[in-house]
Structure 1
Amino acid sequence: MPMHDAAAFVGAAIRSVQAQTVQEWELLVVDDSSRDDSHAVAERAAAADPRVRVLRNEGPGGAGPTRNVGIEAARGRYIAFLDSDDLWLPAKLERQLALLEVSGAPLVYSAYYKVDADFSGEAVDFAPNGRVVRAPLRLEYRHMLRQDYIGFLTAVYDTRALGKRLLPSIERRQDYALMLAILRDGHVARGLDEPLALYRAGRTGSLSANKLVAARYNWHIYRHVEELPLPRALWAFGNYAVRAGLKYLI
C-alpha cells in the first residue's frame, strides 16, 4: 500500500484489509514522504495489529518506487496491491486465492466498483452502486495491448511462478507496464467478473487532464517500453483510446 498525504483515507483502506474473510496476510504500508498525518494513522493501526507494518520509501518518490519497497519487503507467497485511498471488499482475497488455486494462473484480477472521490463509507457497509468496471475472464499479452483491463487494486501475482516482479522505472503507468511485462513472457492471467474492490475515481486533477496524461504515457509504453513497431503501436493506441473513453464514462 503506497501512501502519500492520505490521512483522510488510509484508515478505511487498512480496515478493508483487516475485514477480509481470509485473515492470513501481512499489510505493508509504505509512506512516500507524507506531509500530513498519514504516517501517524498507519502507525496506530500497526500498533494494534502486528500484521500491519509501516515502512518508509527512502529512495526515489512516486507510486512505482514506493510499491517496489513493499514488494521487496514482502514475506508472503502472493503479492497484492491496494492504494491508500481505495478499498477491498471483504471476500476479495478469498475469491482470488481460490481462483489462483483452481486455474493455476500466476496472475489474477477482478472487476471493481467506482466510487466518488469524496466517498466516506467503509468497505463492509458498501451497497452496490452499478458503476462496475468489468473484467474479462482470460487475458493474454495481445489483449492487454488493446487496453489495460486489470484494475491494479485487484491484481494478485504468485511469486513462486514469477519471482518478485518489480514495477519498471518509468514516470507513470508503471502498473500497466508491469502487467504487460508478465504477460509478454507468455503467461495467461485469469479474472473474475465479480466486483471485489472500490476504486476512488477523480481524486486528483480534471477528467480531461487525467485522460491526456494517461494517453501520453500509454504511447510511451507502446513505443519505448514494449518497443512496438509503429504500425502495431498505432493499432494498440487506437484500441486503447476507444476503450478507455468508454471506461471513463462508468
Structure 2
Amino acid sequence: MPEVSIITPMYNSSKFLQETVQSVLNQTFTDWEWLITDDFSKDNSVEIIENLKDARIKLFVAEKNGGAGHARNISLKNATGKYITFLDADDVWEPNFLEEMVSFMKKENAELAYSNYARCDENLNPKIEDFKADKNVTFHNLLKTCRLSLLSSMYDSESVGKEYFPEGSKREDHVMWLNLLKKIPVGKPLAKTMAKYRMHPNSISRKKTNIMKDQYLVYKDYMGFSTLKSSYYTAYWAINGFLKYSKLFN
C-alpha cells in the first residue's frame, strides 16, 4: 500500500489540469497513489488523465454530476494510503510538499497538519499575501474560521479513519474538517508555503455574502447547534472571512 493517498475531484478542468498533474509528478516523495474522480466532465479532462502512463494514478468516472464532495468521496472509498491529502484539479503543490508534510507528521506525531499556501491569480501570480499556518487548530477555533485548506492539509487515516464529505452542503469541506476534529485534539501548523491556490474571479468561496445561509447550516444542521449559537458562529465566520482576504499586496 502507498503511504499517501491524494484525493482529487475533476470537472471540466482541462484549462489548468496539466499544471496540476506536473506538480504531482514532480514530487520528491514518490510513495503515493493519486485517486482522481471525474464528475461527469464535458471537456477532455478524462482523456488527459487516461493518457498518463503511471500506475499510481487511478481514474474513476462518476455516472452523473454530483458535486466536488461526491467526487471526493468516491476517491476516498478507494484510497489505501496511511495519509490522506487533497488537491483540486486547478491548484499546484511545491515539489517537496508531500516529503515535507509526511516528515512533519512523523516528527510531531501529528494526526492532522496543515501548511502555508500562496493565494494567486489564475496565472499563479501572487494576488494577496500567503495564508499563514500559524496556530494549532482545534474543533472550537475552527468553528469561527476554517483555517484548514484542502490543498495544504494532511491527516492520518490509519489513526483516525477516513472522514467523508457531506453531500448536499456547499460548505462540505468545513463540515468535514469539523467532524474530523471531533476525533483529533489538535491539527499542527507547518509554517512553510507548500502550495499555490488559484483564486478565480467568480469563485464561490470569495462571495461571502452569497453563502451566509450555507455557513449558518454548517452549525445548525450539521453541528446541531441552536439558532442563537449558529447565528453567533456565522457572524464570527463572516468577520474572519473578510479579514482573511483583506490584506492586498502593494
The residue that corresponds to 1:77 in the other structure is 82
The residue that corresponds to 2:165 in the other structure is 167
Does residue 37 in structure 1 map to residue 44 in structure 2?
yes
- The CA deviation at 1:128 is 6.9
Cα deviation, 1:82-107, whole Å, max 9, x if unaligned, reads 00011111111111111211222211
* Structure-1 separation of matches of 2:128 and 2:210: 27
* Structure-2 separation of matches of 1:130 and 1:148: 18
Give the letter aligned to residue 28 of structure 2: T
> Between Structure 1 and Structure 2, which shows a larger proportion of strand residues?
2
* Structure-2 separation of matches of 1:128 and 1:91: 20
- The CA deviation at 1:207 is 7.9
Residue 119 (structure 2) aligned to one of 107, 114, 118 = 114
2:60 counterpart SS class: strand
Q: CA 1:231 to 1:219, structure 2 compared with 1: closer, same or farther past 3 Å? A: same
Contact 2:171 2:214 in 1 (8 A): yes
> Between Structure 1 and Structure 2, which shows a larger proportion of helix residues?
1
The TM-score normalised by the length of structure 2 is 0.89
Q: CA 1:143 to 1:16, structure 2 compared with 1: closer, same or farther past 3 Å? A: same
Contact 1:136 1:149 in 2 (8 A): no
- The CA deviation at 1:113 is 0.5
The TM-score normalised by the length of structure 1 is 0.89
* Structure-1 separation of matches of 2:203 and 2:153: 24
2:194 counterpart SS class: strand
Does residue 10 in structure 1 map to residue 17 in structure 2?
yes
2:190 counterpart SS class: strand
* Structure-2 separation of matches of 1:205 and 1:178: 20
Contact 1:11 1:42 in 2 (8 A): no
Does residue 64 in structure 1 map to residue 61 in structure 2?
no
Contact 1:116 1:201 in 2 (8 A): yes
Give the letter aligned to residue 148 of structure 2: I
* Structure-2 separation of matches of 1:115 and 1:49: 29
> What root-mean-square deviation, in Å, do the aligned CA atoms of Structure 1 and Structure 2 show?
2.0
* Structure-1 separation of matches of 2:209 and 2:65: 24
Contact 2:120 2:126 in 1 (8 A): no
Does residue 155 in structure 1 map to residue 115 in structure 2?
no
* Structure-2 separation of matches of 1:10 and 1:144: 30
Give the letter aligned to residue 31 of structure 2: E
- Show structure 1 runs of 5+ residues with no match: 122-126
The residue that corresponds to 2:209 in the other structure is 212
Cα deviation, 1:55-103, whole Å, max 9, x if unaligned, reads 1123661000100011111121111100001111111111111121122
**Percent of matched pairs sharing the same residue:** 28
* Structure-2 separation of matches of 1:128 and 1:94: 24
- The CA deviation at 1:34 is 0.4
Q: CA 1:216 to 1:51, structure 2 compared with 1: closer, same or farther past 3 Å? A: same
